[in-house]
Structures are given as C-alpha cells and as structure tokens.
C-alpha cells in the first residue's frame, strides 16, 4: 500500500516512514557507484597511509617495519623545520588560490562577452592548465633566471633604472623572492581551472535577474555584487575549497623549480613529506606528515562549509 | 576600476543596445582581453617559437629572444621519428578520455545525490568522499602500487584509469554538486508534480540544464588525467604504455637536455587540447529553457 | 537427430585430431625457439645512450640468440623512488643499472653476486671502483652486488676559447686557489661567469660538495669507510669548514652563475653549453655532444683535472655505471641468462662497444689505454683524476646517500646565501645526518 500525498497526516515527524526511506534510498543509490569506485582505490589506501604513520616503515630497512605508536608524530613536533614549513604551506596555498580565483573570475567575465573569435580565446586560456606541470616548471625556471626573459623585459621597461628591481636578479635563487615567484608560476598554471568553472557557473544565472536590475537602475558593479556573486556562490565556494586542498598537496612546481629551497624558503608540508618519504626513504615519517596535512584540510573544509551554511541563510 | 559585465545574450536579445554600447565598454573588454592573452600566452609563445629553433640555436643564447634565426621543423620530425611520440599521445588520449567520461558520469549521480537528496549520514559521506583527496600522494602511492601489482594491473591502461578516476571522482562530485545546486529548485519540483520520478527528473531536467557544468567537469577530469605525472611514471614501466608526461620526462637525459625537442614535445602535448577546447566551449553557454520558466 | 552423415564424421574426426595435436604443435614450436625474455632497467636516456645499448645488445644477440632483452627506461629523477617502490612488491626488473648500490642493497632490491661470477672479471677495474660495487645486505654482511662497466668521475670541463681569451693556460694540475683565481678571471659581470655550480637536485650537488670537502681534509669517519661496524661521525671539523668555505666562495666571490642555489645539473649543463659559464665541474656524460655543439659555435672544449687542496687532491665521486641483478630475476628463474648479459656488458667487448658509442669512459683500465680515450686530450682530465678516487661514505650508514641528497643542498644553499657560515653548515649537516640515520633505525656511536 502506498501513501499518497493527499492522504498524509501532516503533523507526523517524517523519521522512518516509507516515503522518507524511499527518498533516502534514492540518495544512497545515486551515491553508490561513486562509493564503490572509491572504496578500494581511495578509502583503503588512505586508511593504509594513516596506519603507516604509526609505524617506523623505512624503505631501507624493509624487514624492520613495526608499530611505534606516536613516535613519528613526536619526531615531527621536534623537527626544527616544522613551524616554517607550516606557515609557508599556507602562504603558498592561499596566495595561489586567491590569485587564481581573481584572475579566473576576471577572465571568465571577459570570456563571457560577445567578442569576436570567442572560441579561440577560450581555447587559448586553457593552455596553462594543459601544459604538463614538469614542463611548465622548467619553462618558468628558464624565464626567471638572472639573464632570463623576465629580467630582460623588466630592464627594457626601465624598472631597473628606477631602482625598483636589481638588474639580473635571480628570482628563484633569492629566498625573498623564491616563494612569490613560485606562487606566480602556480597562478599561471592553475587559473584556467577557475575560468572554466566560473564560465560554466555564469551560464546558470537567469538573465531576467539582470534585466530586472537594469530596470531598477543598478550599475554594472552592483549587478555583479548582488546578482552574479551570490548566484555563483556555491561554485565559488567549492572551487576555492577544492583549489586550496589541491594546491596544498601539490609538489610538481616546487619539486622541479626549487625542491623546497633555496635554504628551505619554498618548503611546504607536502614537499617536506615527499622528501622524507622518497628522498630519505622514511615512509612512516612521511605518512605522519601526510596525516597532519589531512587533518588541516579536514578542519578548513568543515569551517568553510559551516560558514557557507550560515551565509546561505 | 569597476568591472563591467553583462549577462549572456541570445540572438533574440537587444542587438541594438549592444551596438550602441560598443565603443565604450567593448574597447575596455578588448584591452583587458589583450592583456590577459599576453600574460597567458607569452611564456607559451616563447616555448612555441622555440620549438622551431634547432637545439643548437636554443642552447647558444638559451633562447632569450623570441626571434627565430633559422626556422626548422626538425624538432617535430625527430619527436615522431626518434621517439614513439604518436604512441604516447594515443596513450594519454585513451587514459584521459576514459577517465573523463567515467568520472563525470559517476560523479553526476553522486553530486546530484549530495545536492538534492537528504538522507542519514549525508554530511559524513560527502565529507568522507573529499577526505581521500586531502592526504598527500606519498602516503598512499605505495599501498596503491601494491594493490595494482596484486591485481596484475601494472603496465596496463587500467591502473592509470582506475587511479585517475579515484583522484577525479571526489573533486568532480563536489564540483557538480555545486553546479546542481545552482539550478532553480522550482524546475525539479515542477517535474515531480508532473509525475516524473527522481531518475526522470535527473535525466530530463537537471542534466540538460547543467550542461555547462558537465562540460566543465569533463574538461577538468580530462586535463587532470592528461597532465598527471607521478602515477603514470610509477604504475607503468613499459615504453609502449608511456603517456605524454612520462615520455617527455624520458627525453631529458643526464647532463644534456635537448631543448628543441622538449619545446616541440610541450607544443604537441598542449595545442591539440586547446584546439579541442575551442570547439567544445560552445557548450559552455546557457543550455535550453533555463530562462523560460517564469512563475 | 541422431545419425551423422559420413562427411560430418570425417570432419568431426579431423577437427578432434587437429585440436588434440594443436597443443603439441604449440609446445613443439616453443621448444624450438625457447626465448628467454628479460627486462633491463636504465636511467640514462639520451639518444646516444640508447644507441650504445643497441650496439652491445646486437653483439650479445649473435652470441645468445635465445635471450631477448627489453630495455626499460626510468628517468633519472624518478629512478630511485620508483625502484624503491617496486622493491616493496614484486615488480622489480631482472637486471640493469644499479645506480645506488648501498641504498638498493639495504632495500633488498638487488641480488648478491658472490659466487656467481669469476673474480678475475674484475681484475682490470680499479679496486676502489670494485669496492663501490659492494654493499651491506639485510643480513648485515658485505656482498658484491654489481659489475662496473663505465666510470663517471668528474673533471673540470673548460671552454678553451674563453680561457684563451682570458689568458689562462691549461695545466696538468692546479691548486684550489688557482682554480678560484681562474674562475674570477673568467668572470665578466652580467655576461659571463667563471664556473657554473649546481646547488640543487639529487646526486651531483652532494657528490661535488663532498669532493671539495675531502680535498681540504674533511671526512665522514676517522677509520675505514668500508667497515661494517658503525663508527663515530667526524664530519664537523675545521677541515670540513675550510672545504665548504672554498667551494662556496666561488659563488660568494661572484665567479659562479647567480642561479647556482637552485640550479640542477640541467641548468648547469645549459649554462656551460651556452657559454654563460666558462668552466663546469661535471662528469663525462655529454662530452661528445658538447664537443660537437662547441664546434658549431666556434668554441673548443677541453678538460682539466680536479684541483688539489690542502688535504690532498680533490677526489672525484665514485659514480658510474654498474650492472647488477634485481630481485625480479629470482621470480622467473632466468638468473643464468641475466648473468650472461651483465657479464657481457661489463666485459671488455661490451665496455668497448658501449663507451665508444656514447663517449663514456670504460671501467677497465686496459681499455682506458685504448687510443680512443688515451689519445684524446678531452679525456685526460677524467682519466687522470681517477687515481685520486677515494671511498667517502661509510657503508654501515644505511640510507646515507638518500639522506645526504635531502640534507646537504639546503644547507649548502644557506652558505651561498650568506645565511649560514661554513662552520655552522658543517655542524648542522652532521647533526641532521645523525638525526636522520637514527630515525632510520641506524645506531650512530658518539
């Protein structure tokens, strides 16, 4: 027997009645394919990684792997590099994502216009994203050497004469400018992701909203602030969150350009973890650092989503 | 400087308004576009032009100028002759293509579930999905390697496809969740009142309306798989299975780097995708009847 | 339907007979061409390297037609991580380049060769190089793990044209002070630098750095580095600090390319090839190609031996090519065939074919006397330096090679950037190495 809509008693708490269960089932079933896919290839290795953080697994002593409790975490707490690496990780991730999001939004708005050869320009904007990370890194490495194209251009623009920049400045080899340079390279590499996502999100805003606003006499900036941004809020939130998680864990650029140097100035937690794991062979330690990253990302995700839910209301 | 934007226009919209505004606003738009293009393209342009210089010329002045002294196609010729580059391209295309389609499909269902349904444990599950992506690769690559070895999937397309999907699905699910949440609920409710089931609503209303989001997600997962390196180099060893990223890395020998070849390799890895996107981007426009439902 | 027509019966019998014979036919053909398939791993992937392997392989095939070898290339930067990952499971290749004997032995990735090869095979190779092929296995004992086939010692490559312009003559030997003076004389601010150094990356930066330190009398242990029992580490010393000071002064004086702190061997090579730097401290990996490129550009290539410091000659690193058996060969039982290959590769004939194709230096000293190398002035620096080889790293320190690749470059960069004094760097390197070894489970005596 199926309850029809009209026959429902409205005052009943919709806990485990048939229709709610059916609704729940739909939710679970839609989610099922993804969960199956992720079960073996994502959940299990992640779990294994977490377990390894409590072991003293070294690649150079494979026979002596064993449980050591919180030893790896103790080593981490005592590591003199921890504090600096921690702050630099945030600097790198948040700096990159902020610039990427801004550039992505600007380019999405631009590419949404009715311009000639729009397809060509949209194709063009994809290029930085598609270039394989290692090659983009090599390319930036060459551009930013002391005699590289960037310095030549800056000299031509007269910035050297103005005393703003040293001539032949080795951007990546100077600890003061190494991280900003990497952030720039990362911005170039990653902003098309935001462009594409924002472009897609811009499409779902009903144009009658804008028409109504124009009739009311709103300026373009006000339309942007009160229509565009709020309508795109879910996408903006998700892309910046995902971008942060992704960037925090990315090592491609850093590995090729500076490997965390010079003198630790571009060391991030993810790079640190990689060096400990594959460089020193200390997988247990690398896993412990990995779990710390996991915890940090989990915390900001929760904070982000809680803030969003409040904003939604 | 305030951003001047406009809502996407269809052909039926006021072309007259557009014409009147052309001088002031569009000039600014083109100016900014030029600036953006320059910033994006300049590093790549340098690589692109460099691919037409001989390796010797590149090494001489470390390619500090954009000018090509003796243009040559030998880099491209050598790329396909000395290295199995066509094969690498094919491998990358297959792996990335399958990943994109599969990941987007599975994530569409999952994302819709997270966007519209309510059920016990939803917050936990949606968080769990994303959690797997928060741990750095170093902690999971050895377990993953051992799993693939146990399943005899090493040195096959499957290892990469499975690994890339595992990486892409969490992100795609959350991305699509965001896109689905932007679709006005009234449309789905209208469909349900009309008697369509959840699947029906999903296929007939939600998917078509979220076409831009789906296309964006397809692109995202394709590119993710296309330019990934660590998994590709760890799970495959045979030369026939090399993807573009691994193939290019293998071209960088000890001590001597063939810059011309490398530049050509980058161009071949990048330009086809940009061209593809130029064609695919037309789907990044408002789909069908989104704006038609009023009240 | 019960009965079969006669034609059907004949057809059926024919098919059945064929089906019965088929496996037999299959095994017949298999017995006739019992090809053994082996996988050989390698990290040098230049076109000349591939050609060198091909030359050796072709000769090998005429001798052993039943052995087929697939050459798997793992790019240099990913090589150690990937091999160590493969060592966790069962995916190791059969044989190939053992670029890190100590680390791979500790990780149980390679197979001891004691008792499997005749010791006389190694007679023509410098004993010190042979010692490099020994490592400590999981049983705590020393074993022979690989057969040397080419040598990768360093020398100072010079752009002779630029040197002549600066009025510097090539000598048979020079001191560290003369080297520093030459580097300074060759520097034209903003345009050209005397030397290009690599302060980042794996392998080279550490090896060259340590060579400089040993040239000043610094060392890791006071006793024999070949001993299996742990000894106190004495790296932190005034001699070490002096060596660090000399090396980093090349940069601090402005004689080295400014991007040295983040330059890897790739950038170092590019700097030298483009004439940005007049000298480069590196191995013989690209001698032939560099000479060709220089010729096209109107430059002449030459080499000088490593200089001599207060503590003796600066020793070259003991790098090179060594062929060994990986654990994968135990899986499919083709150890004998794999041994045949590595023995051939490291034989005189194999060395000659390989090294004459790609310009590397053979491990056999008799072969080094071959006019191809002995009469070429370019190789004089490299071969001359070989007599100064020294064992530097103590072999009981498990994982030390990888540890040093992680510890040393940042601290070296610190000195380059004037944020660390040479004495502090020496102290810090020792402290971090000890800490790292302890974390890896190695007991370090104090």
CA max distance for chain C: 105
In the predicted model, what is the mean pLDDT of chain A?
A: 86
Q: Assess whether pLDDT exceeds 70 at residue C13.
A: no
C72 to chain B, any CB pair closer than 8 A? The answer is yes
Rounded distance between C-alpha atoms, residue A193 and residue A229, angstroms: 18
B125 to chain A, any CB pair closer than 8 A? The answer is yes
Mean pLDDT of the region A232-258:
91
Q: Which residues of C touch A59 (CB under 8 A)?
A: 84, 87-88, 107, 399
Could you report the predicted ipTM of this complex, rounded to two decimals? 0.85
Q: Which residues of C touch B150 (CB under 8 A)?
A: 89
Least confident range of A259-268, A302-311, C3-12, C78-87: C3-12
Chains interfacing with C (3 or more CB pairs < 8 Å): A, B
Q: Assess whether pLDDT exceeds 70 at residue A137.
A: yes
- Note the Cα A3 to chain centre separation in Å: 46
Q: Residue C296 and residue B56: Cβ atoms within 8 Å?
A: yes
Rounded distance between C-alpha atoms, residue A184 and residue A143, angstroms: 12
In terms of average pLDDT, the best of A165-169, B132-136, C4-8, C27-31 is: B132-136
Q: Are B257 and C201 in contact (CB under 8 A)?
A: no
Q: What's the CA angle centered on B154, arms B151 and B156, to 5 degrees?
A: 110
DSSP state of C312: E
Write down the residue that tokens 């400590």 correspond to: C136
Distance from CA of A197 to the nearest CA of C (A): 33
Q: Assess whether pLDDT exceeds 50 at residue C115.
A: yes
Residue B15 CB burial class (10 angstroms; 0-12, 13-18, ≥19)? exposed
Residue C183 CB burial class (10 angstroms; 0-12, 13-18, ≥19)? buried
The two tokens of residue C196 are 């290009």
Rounded distance between C-alpha atoms, residue A189 and residue B270, angstroms: 13
Residues in B 68-97 with any Cβ partner in C closer than 8 A = 82
pLDDT value for C131: 86
Q: Are A281 and C399 in contact (CB under 8 A)?
A: yes
Least confident range of A216-220, B203-207, C265-269: A216-220
pLDDT value for B207: 87
Write down the residue that tokens 């997962």 correspond to: B221
Rounded distance between C-alpha atoms, residue C161 and residue C157, angstroms: 12
Rounded distance between C-alpha atoms, residue C118 and residue B38, angstroms: 65
In the predicted model, what is the mean pLDDT of chain C?
A: 87
Residue of A205, A168, A177, A200 lying closest to A262 (CA atoms): A177
- The list of chain B residues with pLDDT below 70 reads 1-23, 56-68, 252-257, 284-295
Distant-in-sequence, close-in-space partners of C415: CB < 8 Å, separation ≥ 6: C244, C248, C421, C422, C425
Name the CATH code of domain C155-316+392-439 (choices 3.40.50.2000, 1.10.1040.10, 3.40.190.10, 2.40.50.140): 3.40.190.10
A206 to chain B, any CB pair closer than 8 A? The answer is yes
Name the CATH code of domain A80-312 (choices 1.10.1060.10, 1.10.3720.10, 1.10.150.130, 1.10.357.10): 1.10.3720.10
Q: Which residues of B touch C92 (CB under 8 A)?
A: none
* Per-domain boundaries in chain A: 18-47, 80-312
Q: Are A174 and C199 in contact (CB under 8 A)?
A: no
What is the total residue count of chain B?
295
Distant-in-sequence, close-in-space partners of C145: CB < 8 Å, separation ≥ 6: C98, C101, C104, C105, C110, C111, C112, C113, C133, C134, C135, C322, C324
Strand bridging mode C67-73 / C36-42: parallel
Q: Which residues of C touch A62 (CB under 8 A)?
A: 87-88, 107-108, 138
Strand bridging mode C277-282 / C155-159: antiparallel
The SS3 of residue C168 is coil
When CB atoms are compared, the residue of B7, B129, B229 closest to A132 is: B229
Least confident range of B109-113, C15-19, C213-217: C15-19
Q: Assess whether pLDDT exceeds 50 at residue C32.
A: no
Q: Residue A112 and residue B265: Cβ atoms within 8 Å?
A: no
Q: Do domains C6-110+323-348 and C155-316+392-439 have the same CATH topology?
A: yes
Is CATH 3.40.190.10 correct for C6-110+323-348? yes
Q: Residue C75 and residue B250: Cβ atoms within 8 Å?
A: yes
| Residue B43: half-sphere exposure toward Cβ, Cα within 13 Å | 25
Distance from CA of B47 to the nearest CA of C (A): 16
B180 to chain C, any CB pair closer than 8 A? The answer is no
Distance from CA of C126 to the nearest CA of A (A): 28
Categorize the per-residue pLDDT at C2 as very low, low, confident or very high, splitting at 50, 70 and 90: very low
Distant-in-sequence, close-in-space partners of A40: CB < 8 Å, separation ≥ 6: B147
DSSP state of B2: P
Q: Are C212 and C422 in contact (CB under 8 A)?
A: no
Residue B79 has φ and ψ, to the nearest 5°, of: -55, -45
pLDDT value for C9: 54
* Per-domain boundaries in chain C: 6-110+323-348, 155-316+392-439
Phi-psi region of B209 (alpha: psi -120 to 50; beta: other; left: phi over 0): alpha
Rounded distance between C-alpha atoms, residue C366 and residue C387, angstroms: 14
pLDDT value for A94: 96
Distance from CA of B193 to the nearest CA of A (A): 11
Is pLDDT larger for residue C343 or for residue B47? C343
Q: Which long-range contacts (CB under 8 A, 24 or more apart) does C170-176 make?
A: C170/C302, C170/C304, C171/C304, C172/C305, C172/C384, C173/C305, C173/C307, C173/C308, C174/C304, C174/C305, C174/C307, C174/C308, C175/C307, C175/C308, C175/C309, C176/C212, C176/C215, C176/C216, C176/C246, C176/C307, C176/C308, C176/C309, C176/C310, C176/C314
Distance from CA of A229 to the nearest CA of B (A): 12
Q: Which residues of A touch C103 (CB under 8 A)?
A: 60, 281
Rounded distance between C-alpha atoms, residue A145 and residue C267, angstroms: 10
pLDDT value for C431: 95
* CA dist C234 → C88, C221, C222, C231, C240 (Å): 34, 5, 7, 9, 9
pLDDT in tens, C411-422: 999 999 999 999
Residue of B187, B192, B223 lying closest to B208 (CA atoms): B187
Q: Are C145 and C120 in contact (CB under 8 A)?
A: no
Residue C278 has φ and ψ, to the nearest 5°, of: -85, -20
Categorize the per-residue pLDDT at A312 as very low, low, confident or very high, splitting at 50, 70 and 90: low
């Amino acid at each position: 027997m199926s309850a029809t809509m009209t026959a429902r008693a409205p005052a009943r708490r919709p806990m485990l009645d048939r229709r709610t269960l059916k609704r729940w089932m739909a939710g679970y079933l839609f989610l099922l394919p993804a969960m199956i896919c992720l079960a073996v290839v994502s959940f299990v290795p992640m779990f294994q990684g977490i377990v390894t953080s409590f072991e003293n697994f070294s690649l150079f002593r494979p026979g002596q792997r064993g449980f050591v409790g919180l030893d790896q975490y103790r080593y981490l707490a005592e590591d003199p590099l921890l504090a600096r690496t921690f702050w630099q990780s945030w600097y790198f991730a948040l700096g990159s994502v902020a610039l990427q999001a801004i550039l992505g939004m600007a380019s999405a708005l631009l590419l949404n216009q009715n311009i000639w050869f729009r397809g060509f320009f949209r194709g063009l904007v994809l290029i930085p994203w598609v270039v394989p990370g290692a090659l983009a890194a090599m390319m930036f490495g060459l551009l930013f050497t002391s005699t590289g194209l960037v310095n030549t251009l800056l000299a031509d623009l007269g910035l050297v004469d103005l005393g703003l920049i040293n001539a032949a400045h080795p951007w990546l080899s100077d600890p003061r400018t190494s991280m900003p340079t990497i952030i720039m390279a990362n911005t170039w590499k990653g902003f098309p992701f935001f462009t594409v996502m924002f472009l897609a999100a811009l499409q779902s805003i009903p144009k009658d909203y804008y028409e109504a606003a124009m009739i009311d006499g709103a300026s373009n900036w006000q339309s942007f602030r009160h229509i565009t941004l709020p309508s795109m809020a879910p996408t903006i939130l998700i892309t910046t969150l995902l971008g942060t998680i992704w960037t925090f864990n990315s090592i491609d650029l850093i590995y090729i350009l500076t490997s965390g140097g010079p003198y630790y100035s571009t060391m991030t937690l993810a790079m640190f973890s990689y060096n400990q794991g594959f460089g020193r062979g200390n997988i247990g330690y690398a896993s412990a650092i990995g779990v710390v990253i996991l915890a940090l990302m989990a915390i900001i995700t929760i904070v982000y989503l809680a803030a969003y839910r409040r904003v939604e209301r | 400087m305030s951003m001047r934007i406009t809502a996407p226009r269809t052909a039926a919209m006021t072309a007259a308004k557009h014409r009147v505004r052309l001088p002031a606003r569009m000039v600014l738009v083109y100016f900014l576009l030029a600036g953006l293009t320059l910033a994006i393209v300049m590093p790549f342009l340098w690589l692109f032009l460099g691919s037409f210089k001989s390796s010797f010329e590149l090494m001489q002045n470390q390619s500090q100028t954009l000018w090509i002294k003796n243009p040559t196609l030998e880099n491209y010729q050598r790329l396909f002759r000395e290295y199995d580059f066509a094969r690498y391209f094919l491998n990358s295309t297959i792996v990335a293509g399958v990943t994109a389609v599969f990941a987007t499909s599975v994530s569409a269902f999952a994302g819709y579930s997270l966007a519209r349904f309510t059920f016990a444990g939803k917050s936990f599950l949606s968080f769990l999905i994303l959690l797997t992506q928060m741990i750095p690769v170093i902690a999971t690559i050895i377990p993953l390697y051992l799993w693939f070895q146990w399943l005899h999937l090493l040195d096959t397309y499957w290892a990469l496809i499975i690994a890339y999907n595992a990486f892409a699905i969490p992100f795609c699910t959350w991305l699509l969740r965001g896109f689905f949440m932007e679709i006005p609920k009234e449309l789905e409710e209208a469909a349900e009142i009309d008697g369509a089931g959840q699947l029906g609503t999903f296929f007939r209303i939600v998917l078509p309306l979220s076409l831009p989001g789906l296309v964006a997600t397809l692109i995202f997962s394709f590119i993710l798989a296309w330019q990934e390196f660590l998994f590709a180099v760890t799970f495959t060893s045979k030369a026939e299975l090399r993807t573009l990223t691994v193939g290019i890395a293998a071209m960088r020998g000890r001590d001597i780097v063939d810059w011309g070849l490398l530049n050509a390799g980058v161009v071949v890895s990048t330009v086809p995708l940009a061209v593809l996107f130029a064609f695919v981007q037309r789907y990044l426009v408002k789909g069908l009847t989104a704006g038609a439902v009023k009240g | 339907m019960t009965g079969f027509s006669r034609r059907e019966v004949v057809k059926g019998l024919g098919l059945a007979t064929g089906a019965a014979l088929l496996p037999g036919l299959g095994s017949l053909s298999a017995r006739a061409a019992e090809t053994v398939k082996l996988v050989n791993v390698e990290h040098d992937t230049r076109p000349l390297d591939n050609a060198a392997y091909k030359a050796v392989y072709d000769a090998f095939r005429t001798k052993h037609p039943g052995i087929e070898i697939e050459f798997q290339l793992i790019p240099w930067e990913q090589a150690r991580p990937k091999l160590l990952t493969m060592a966790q499971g069962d995916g190791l290749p059969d044989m190939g380049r053992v670029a890190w004997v100590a680390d791979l032995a500790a990780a149980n990735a390679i197979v001891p060769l004691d008792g499997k090869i005749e010791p006389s095979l190694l007679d023509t190779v410098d004993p010190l190089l042979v010692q490099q092929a020994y490592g400590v296995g999981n049983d705590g004992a020393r074993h022979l793990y690989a057969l040397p086939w080419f040598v990768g010692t360093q020398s100072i490559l010079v752009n002779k044209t630029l040197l002549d312009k600066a009025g510097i003559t090539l000598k048979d030997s020079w001191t560290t002070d003369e080297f520093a003076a030459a580097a300074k004389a060759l520097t034209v601010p903003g345009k050209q630098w005397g030397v290009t150094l690599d302060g980042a990356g794996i392998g080279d930066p550490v090896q060259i750095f340590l060579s400089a330190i040993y040239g000043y009398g610094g060392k890791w242990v006071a006793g024999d580095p070949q001993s299996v029992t742990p000894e106190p580490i004495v790296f932190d010393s005034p001699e070490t600090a002096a060596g660090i000071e000399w090396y980093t002064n090349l940069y601090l004086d402005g004689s080295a390319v400014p991007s040295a702190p983040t330059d890897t061997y790739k950038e170092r090579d590019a700097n030298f090839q483009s004439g940005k730097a007049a000298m480069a401290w590196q191995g013989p990996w690209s001698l032939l190609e560099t000479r060709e490129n220089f010729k096209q550009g109107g430059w002449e290539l030459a080499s000088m031996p490593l200089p001599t410091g207060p503590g003796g000659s600066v020793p070259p690193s003991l790098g090179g090519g060594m062929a060994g058996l990986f654990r994968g060969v135990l899986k499919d039982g083709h150890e004998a065939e794999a041994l045949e290959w590595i023995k051939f590769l490291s034989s005189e004939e194999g060395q000659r074919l390989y090294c004459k194709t790609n310009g590397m230096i053979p491990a056999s000293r008799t072969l080094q006397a071959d006019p191809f190398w002995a009469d070429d002035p370019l190789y004089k620096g490299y071969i001359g330096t070989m007599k100064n080889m020294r064992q530097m790293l103590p072999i009981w320190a498990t994982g030390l090679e990888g540890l040093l690749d992680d510890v040393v470059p940042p601290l070296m960069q610190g000195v380059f950037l004037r944020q660390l004094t040479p004495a502090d760097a020496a102290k810090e390197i020792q402290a971090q190495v000890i800490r790292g070894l302890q974390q890896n489970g190695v007991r370090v005596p104090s």
